[in-house]
Amino acid sequence: MKLPTKVTIKEVGPRDGLQNEPNFIETKEKVDWINRLSKTGLSYIEVSSFVHPKWIPQLADSEEVLKSIKREAGVTYAALVPNIRGLERAFNCHVDEISVFMSASEGHNKSNINKSIDETFPVLKEVVDEAKKADLKVRGYVSTVIACPYDGPVAPEQVLKVVDRLAEMGVYEISLGDTIGVGVPTQVESLLETLLKHFPPQLFAMHFHDTRGTALANVVKSLEMGITTFDSSTGGLGGCPYAKGASGNVATEDLNYLLTAMNIETGVNPEALIDSAFFIEEKIGKKLISKQLEIARNERSANVDNARTV
């Protein structure tokens, strides 16, 4: 098995994770969490979204969060931007990078953005052009690259059409999302085989949700095919408000364990990552279900029990 020696983990929990929570997390608690994540060795944190608060009320405080966090050297602080109005708000917060987003399937794109795929391209191009004029790097998200909750299976050729247009706009990286978490390694292989005939692997990041428990298997397949950037969310937080049944992202701590156990460098401190996961678990008021967090929870419980018997 040919594997890379180093991988970049992009933490999307503060945006992709919290946007799907039923309750609003207080701004101070978001800031505290992001500051903790900044100390883990992560080099990239997607802090929030400039989608209108009417649609994502959980992230209505995006500007205050971005203005309040303590920025660490070497960490990129990014935000999701849907349109030119969102970009103007992002400019006011001095984001390091922005992400634009759309879907590979018509059904999800219309549900998520309220536009067809063809109608979405000019909206994103305007954002990309203006961001680049301001020397901001732009990342692109493509959702539903394996299957759509409305349209069913999505052909790799359809994903390629969307990727082509985003690449033409000049995004530096395209994150490919298995939004509803149904993909398996053979599907990932088929998708990447199609895309890598036209683009280098460095253009792509993979964004796996873990609805069916296949996210890490899909990561391994992606590694074999030369992908070296992966999105993840602390504690496995996440989901998509416009994709019924989608569960959380692959957990950052589980992804980090897999990679480091395979002797792939990530630069991320696992203990600090676990501590940050416990922190946000307490704030959202529900048990997070990553494997590494469950192990750490059991170990801490055992240590408490042992202390009581001494």
Sign, CA dihedral 112-116-121-126, equals negative
Predicted confidence (pLDDT) per residue in 81-127, tens digit:
999 999 999 999 999 999 999 999 999 999 999 999 999 999 999 99
Residue 248, pLDDT score: 86
Cα–Cα nearest to 29, from 71, 72, 55, 58: 58
Predicted confidence (pLDDT) per residue in 227-270, tens digit:
999 999 999 998 666 556 566 899 999 999 999 999 999 999 99
- Which residues touch 128 (CB under 8 Å, ≥6 apart)? 100, 138, 169, 170, 171
Kindly list the catalytic residues: 240
Cα–Cα nearest to 232, from 202, 259, 261, 209: 209
Residue 289, pLDDT score: 86
Which regions in the chain score pLDDT beneath 50?
Answer: none
Query: Are the beta carbons of 143 and 108 closer than 8 angstroms?
Result: yes
pTM over 0.75: yes
**Gyration radius of the chain over CA positions:** 19
Q: How far is CA 224 from CA 160, 184, 219, in A?
A: 20, 14, 9
Sign, CA dihedral 46-50-55-56, equals positive
Q: Percentage of the chain with pLDDT > 70?
A: 95
